[in-house]
Amino acid sequence: MRVGWGAGVVLALSLGACRCSQDAGAPDAGMLPPPSALTCEGLITPEIRDALPGFTFKEERTCPTCGPLCTFRSAEQEQKEVTVSITYDCHQLPDGQDVRGLLAPTLRAGGMEIPALGKAAARREPVPGMMQVVAWDDDTPCGVVITWLGKNRDRAPELARTTLFGLTRERLLQAIPLPAIGGSTPDAGPDSDAGSP
């Protein structure tokens, strides 16, 4: 499988799973920042970096009002075909929205529910050699999509667990780039070393 083709599939699937907010105004005191203000640099925890040693990541945007798409690629020869992405989508769901009901498209596509992972989670293999996990956090209004292309793809559910564990209101508030006033969030940041502290 060609790496370029796989990366395109990763992005397309992540876009399909992302439920973009239509209201991304500036946060009031005590409220979370809008999804468009969040960055991979602020959201990727040391635990995620430790889980992907030797990988670098690059930030992309799936839509103007969604959180970032963090794409990881291995610099090691034996894992050069491996691509991992974490898509964040953090916004309040409508009142009465059944989070578990959001799993329906994944389950209808042949996915399986993952018990005891956030509010709700499911996994599926959209194409051979790829695993995707969709999960919603217990403590924040965030959903994540983990897409693992290449070998060791069975690690995707555990990476989803690590990602959700690191999502807190405090981290979301700290994930806004500085300077936050008078600046803008770049569409794509420079590659960062996921194995660095």
Q: Is residue 26 part of a domain?
A: no
Q: What pLDDT sits at residue 84?
A: 96
Q: What pLDDT sits at residue 178?
A: 53
Q: Is residue 21 part of a domain?
A: no
Q: Is residue 56 part of a domain?
A: yes
Q: Is residue 84 part of a domain?
A: yes
Per the structure, the count of domains in the chain is 1
Q: What pLDDT sits at residue 111?
A: 93
Assign residue 93 the CATH number of its domain.
3.40.1000
Q: What pLDDT sits at residue 9?
A: 41
Tens of pLDDT along the chain (197 residues)? 433 434 444 444 444 444 444 443 433 435 778 888 889 999 999 999 999 998 999 998 877 778 899 999 987 766 778 999 999 988 877 777 777 788 888 898 899 999 999 999 999 999 999 999 999 998 888 999 999 999 899 999 999 999 999 999 888 887 776 544 344 444 444 455 555 44
d(CA 144, CA 194): 18
Supply the range of the domain harboring residue 128.
3-15+33-175
Query: Which amino acid, one-letter code, is at 11?
Result: L
Residues 70, 49 contacting (CB under 8 angstroms): no
Q: Is residue 196 part of a domain?
A: no
Q: What pLDDT sits at residue 27?
A: 38
Q: Is residue 189 part of a domain?
A: no
Q: Is residue 191 part of a domain?
A: no
156-176: b (≥16 Cβ within 10 Å) or e: bbebbbbbbeebeeebbbebb
Q: Is residue 23 part of a domain?
A: no
Q: What pLDDT sits at residue 43?
A: 93
SS3 readout for the chain: CCHHHHHHHHHHHHHHHCCCCCCCCCCCCCCCCCHHHCCHHHHCCHHHHHHCCCEEEEEEECCCCCCEEEEEEECCHHHCCCEEEEEEEECCCCCCCCHHHHHHHHHHCCCEECCCCCCEEEEECCCCCEEEEEEECCCCCEEEEEEEECCCHHHHHHHHHHHHHCCCHHHHHHCCCCCCCCCCCCCCCCCEECCCC
